[in-house]
Amino acid sequence: MSVSPIKVFITGAANGLAEVREGLADHPEVELVGTAADPAKAGSKLAESGAQVILHGTTATDHVPTSEIEAIRGVTAAPIVLVTSASANALLSEALSAGIFDVVLLPQLTDGIVFTIKKANSLAAGRPGGAAKTSSSTEGRVITFFSPKGGAGKTVLACNLAATIARHQSRKTLLLDLDLQFGDAAIMMGIEPEKTIYDLVMARRELDSDALAGYVTAHSSGVHILPAPLRPEDAELVTEERLGHLFAVAKESYDVIVVDTPPFFHGPVLSTLDRTDQLVLVASLDVPSVKNVKLTMQTLDLLHYPKERRHLLLNRSGSKVGLKPQEVERALEMKVEFEVPVEREVAVSVNRGVPIAISSPRSGVGKALQDVADKLVPQRQAGKSESGGGKKFRRRG
């Protein structure tokens, strides 16, 4: 893949920063465009370097080096990654509010640092505009489930919402599993796919609606599923560029695309956010979950992801665990828009591979997802063709 290297400028000082510089100097995905120990003196050199990401070394342990950050901010808007070898708890807690993109604790493998640099660059590159685009009424809308905590219920909810929309709203629906390493949407839907997104990205043929139809597996609810790669090591082949193309084609073929994600932000998730019309943040009634969703909100703010497209869903609500929905709302400064109750049959449905929204649409979970579908998928517009793209949806049940 021929992508131009990311221009990185290194400022400040930290134990191990020289090794970082050496590692990056030889790295094909990075171009070092300058260094300056004192950012206040870097001035025009930094401004004219065209740097896309700033790595700033610091020895401060108890606070963000505000004056140094301001000196950098005075000449460039490029994202700043702090680099330190000290244990830096205070730094970590202050960094986000100080507008720092990330904090890297040394020692660190060069590849790890390059990943952070790529993440910072991909966030900064056109995100304000990128994230702000909305689907026009004629293209499929993208609903993405995200939670920074594993086990929150993203996959259960994504599978059931997709099944509800396909079955009860008769919409052409694609379930896209972007938990690329450990995706289990196919298992939860009880299908054994012949092809996955891995086959799609490896194909030589240009992707169009017809080609896409050859990679999805139809579920009895009517949902089409594009599963995650079968082997975790194949995940990295699904690049942001290919995902962008996949979304463009899928939006032409489907009314709704429901996306399941892993519990962390990485390139494909960021790229998905850019194309997401409705982002459902899954929280639960426990303090770590609330804390992590709060951090996610701050990241979304940094990405300029519009607030009106964020929806807070409380999963396993009604569990008597001491935390109340109102307390979650207060902590997150956001209304709980959807509540999905805890139900024993969910585990049974997961193990049987039959979405509960299909086997028991009148269950609490089934009704809650019907509510999500009604609110997030607008009423069908009169006159809009349902057989667009010549695609036929086979229903078997």
Residues in contact with ligand ATP by CB under 6 A are 147, 150-156, 179, 263, 315-316, 340, 342-343, 346-347, 350, 365
Pairing of strands 256-260, 30-36: unpaired
Q: Which does 317 bind (CB under 5 to 8 A by kind): ligand ATP, Mg ion, none?
A: none
By beta-carbon proximity to ligand ATP, the closer residue of 100 and 197 is 197
Q: Give the span between the Cα atoms of 277 and 25, in whole angstroms.
A: 39
Contacts of 347 (CB under 8 A, 6+ apart): none
User: Is the distance from CB of 42 to CB of 36 less than 8 angstroms?
Assistant: yes
Beta carbon of residue 113, minimum distance to ligand ATP (angstroms, whole number):
26
Q: Which does 365 bind (CB under 5 to 8 A by kind): ligand ATP, Mg ion, none?
A: ligand ATP
**Token pair of 343 as six digits:** 């139900």
What is the pattern of x (binds Mg ion, CB under 5 A) and - over residues 169-208?
Answer: ----------------------------------------
Q: Give the span between the Cα atoms of 142 and 133, in whole angstroms.
A: 12
By beta-carbon proximity to ligand ATP, the closer residue of 27 and 149 is 149
Contacts of 7 (CB under 8 A, 6+ apart): 31, 33, 49, 50, 51, 52, 53
Q: Which does 256 bind (CB under 5 to 8 A by kind): Mg ion, ligand ATP, none?
A: none
With H, G, I as helix, E, B as strand and everything else as coil, classify residue 271: helix
Peptide bond into 107 cis (omega under 30): yes
By beta-carbon proximity to ligand ATP, the closer residue of 11 and 272 is 272
Give which of 28, 20, 16, 120 is closest to 77, Cα–Cα. Answer: 120
Q: Which does 355 bind (CB under 5 to 8 A by kind): ligand ATP, Mg ion, none?
A: none
Beta strands in the chain (DSSP E): 6-12, 30-36, 53-57, 80-84, 102-105, 141-146, 173-177, 217-218, 224-226, 256-260, 278-283, 310-317, 336-341
By beta-carbon proximity to ligand ATP, the closer residue of 150 and 214 is 150
The stretch among 154-162, 347-355, 358-366, 385-393 that binds Mg ion (CB under 5 A) is 154-162
By beta-carbon proximity to ligand ATP, the closer residue of 147 and 272 is 147
Tell me which of 144, 155, 271, 370 binds Mg ion, using CB under 5 A: 155
By beta-carbon proximity to Mg ion, the closer residue of 165 and 228 is 228
Q: Which does 126 bind (CB under 5 to 8 A by kind): Mg ion, ligand ATP, none?
A: none
Give which of 64, 66, 98 is closest to 84, Cα–Cα. Answer: 64
Q: Looking at 169-239, list the stretches that DSSP marks H as alpha helix, in order from N- to C-terminal side.
A: 185-188, 197-202, 209-213
Neighbours of 275 (CB within 10 A): 22
Neighbours of 182 (CB within 10 A): 13
Q: Which does 156 bind (CB under 5 to 8 A by kind): Mg ion, ligand ATP, none?
A: ligand ATP
What is the pattern of x (binds Mg ion, CB under 5 A) and - over residues 103-142?
Answer: ----------------------------------------
Check binding of 315 to Mg ion (CB under 5 A): no
Residue nearest to Mg ion (CB): 155
By beta-carbon proximity to ligand ATP, the closer residue of 277 and 343 is 343
Q: Which residues bind Mg ion (CB under 5 A)?
A: 154-155
